[in-house]
Amino acid sequence: MNRRLLCLCIAVALVFGGCATLTRTETETYTIVMRDTTMIKEANNAPGQRENGVVYPSTRMDTIEHPVTEYDSTHDRYYPNFLRAGVFEAAGLFGTGNSSNGIGGGLFGVYGLADSSFAQHGNSKTFTGEMLRFFPYETRLRWFHDSPNWTIGTAAYEIWAPEADFSKAITGIFPIYIRKRYFLREQIPYVIVEPTVGIGIIPTPMNYINLGVTLDVGSLGGMNFHAYLGYIAGTQLFGQLDSSLQSHHVSQSSSFPYFGLGVSMLDFVNTVAETQHEWKDYTQSSLEVTPFNLTVLHSLRGDSSLFGPSSSFLTGIAARLATVEYPIWHFGGNVNIGTSLINFIAPSATHGGLGILPLRLGYRILLIPDELTNESFAEINYYPSSFWNIADRISLDLKLLRVNLTLGYVDGSRGGIFTSHWLPYANAFSDLYFGVGIGLGGHIFNLGDLTPW
């Protein structure tokens, strides 16, 4: 498997371990006091005989009590604890290195996920460099009398590569970034201009500095688009063998200006005001957000199975990574558009394809509120494989787990750039398939849960 794609899959798997840091819990303690008033009236007749027509005085006693009951009670409130929390960000960089020796990330820096030799195939001489960043995170920085739009953040790992010569690439583990937000639009989708200062502190202290500004558009179900302008300078530390075959570290300086376009998936951005609202009141903007969906397929063509000759029913798989869908409000919201960072489908061992950021158009019907939906969709995949996929899917939402039944038809070609490491057989393919799958870590929302935009 391609090294960058493997790193991306590991990053998505690790996201579930960090979810606990994304929530701030505030506990309110109450003393509940119950006050009451009890009045008892008693009338006792005087002892002795009575004669008719004679009124005798009676003894009357009134008792008034004021009981007080006190007990303690607590209530937990859960709030978002971040201004930004994401999984994956990538960008393609213009003119940062030799145009004949590009990295191959392409537009947005994500198309090279399918093929590490993207540029060598002549597909990306414009985008000579690439930036990859995993698990970006930002929280509020309370500077200048608690100014609301200062942030401090980091990322688990980032790499800035000007070209295919990785000795010129600058990498950082948990760099420190300080940003100031200027909102051009304060409603979803947000449009933000962010001047940025970044300092790399690992593997060596102060190994690079990154000065720049970004234009961010999002966050729509965790999907954002970015434009970058800046300058990065630092040192790259790498191992080298000397004449005695002893390994030692060599540092090499690298610096370059950059301009690029990027995209981030499963990357959620909050305003300061949103961090003051509980999770139950959180603003939703997408019909679906799913980190990972895996479906096992049965090919109705009867081709050989990916799982070997012993499997007669399960012949293939389909997988989606970082899927989002948005309602088209102009048509009432049931019509939707969507995409996935990676879409892989192989109905059998002999054919299949891979799509990066495919385009999907669907129509969704709510069968049971909050639980069961039916969606028909048509999907176009244009790179690295060229194929279209028409299907109908029934989904049962069990909160963090979703069960899917899918019936579909796929037709297209694997693509010449799509190397044999994935699919070693025929280039053109078509198939009718049935599938059973699960979606992990995501959720399907009702239209009533969403904020129109």
Of 261, 159, 165, the closest CA to residue 207 belongs to: 159
* Whole-model pTM over 0.75: yes
For residue 267, pLDDT over 60 is answered with yes
My answer on whether 261 and 372 are in the same domain is no
My answer on whether 206 and 291 are in the same domain is no
Query: Rounded mean pLDDT of 312-337?
Result: 90
Contact 172/207 with Cβ under 8 angstroms?
yes
My answer on whether 293 and 423 are in the same domain is yes
Instruction: Quickly state the pLDDT bin for 330 (edges 50, 70, 90).
Output: confident
Separation of alpha carbons 190 and 51, rounded Å: 94
Contact 14/294 with Cβ under 8 angstroms?
no
User: What CATH number does the domain containing 362 carry?
Assistant: 2.40.160
Q: Cα dist. 96→102, 117, 168, 307 in Å?
A: 9, 18, 11, 44
Q: Per the structure block, which two tokens stand in for 408?
A: 């579909």
**Percent of the residues in the chain that have a pLDDT greater than 90, as a whole number:** 36
Number of Cβ within 10 Å of residue 213's Cβ equals 15
Domain total in the chain = 2
- The verdict on residue 64 lying in a domain is no
Q: What is the DSSP track for 314-364?
A: --EEEEEEEEEEEE-GGGTSSEEEEEEEEEEEEEETTEEEEEES-EEEEEE
Query: Which letter does DSSP use for residue 146 in this model?
Result: T
Instruction: Quickly state the pLDDT bin for 452 (edges 50, 70, 90).
Output: confident
> Can you give the pLDDT at residue 446?
82
Residue-averaged pLDDT of the chain: 81
My answer on whether 215 and 346 are in the same domain is no
Q: Could you report the per-residue pLDDT of 182-226, keeping only the tens digit for each?
A: 999 988 899 999 999 999 987 666 689 999 999 999 889 899 999
Q: Per the structure block, which two tokens stand in for 307?
A: 């799982």
For residue 244, pLDDT over 70 is answered with no
Q: Could you report the per-residue pLDDT of 87-129, keeping only the tens digit for each?
A: 999 998 888 877 666 666 778 888 877 665 554 554 546 788 8
Q: Could you report the per-residue pLDDT of 337-352, keeping only the tens digit for each?
A: 999 999 999 888 878 8
Q: Which domain covers residue 142, as residue numbers?
A: 81-276
SS3 397: strand
For residue 16, pLDDT over 50 is answered with no
- The verdict on residue 25 lying in a domain is no
For residue 272, pLDDT over 70 is answered with yes
Query: Rounded mean pLDDT of 375-395?
Result: 93
Q: Could you report the per-residue pLDDT of 401-426, keeping only the tens digit for each?
A: 889 999 999 999 887 555 545 555 55
Last residue of some domain: 276, 304, 319? 276
For residue 257, pLDDT over 90 is answered with yes
- The verdict on residue 444 lying in a domain is yes
> Can you give the pLDDT at residue 100?
66
My answer on whether 114 and 218 are in the same domain is yes
Last residue of some domain: 242, 276, 310? 276
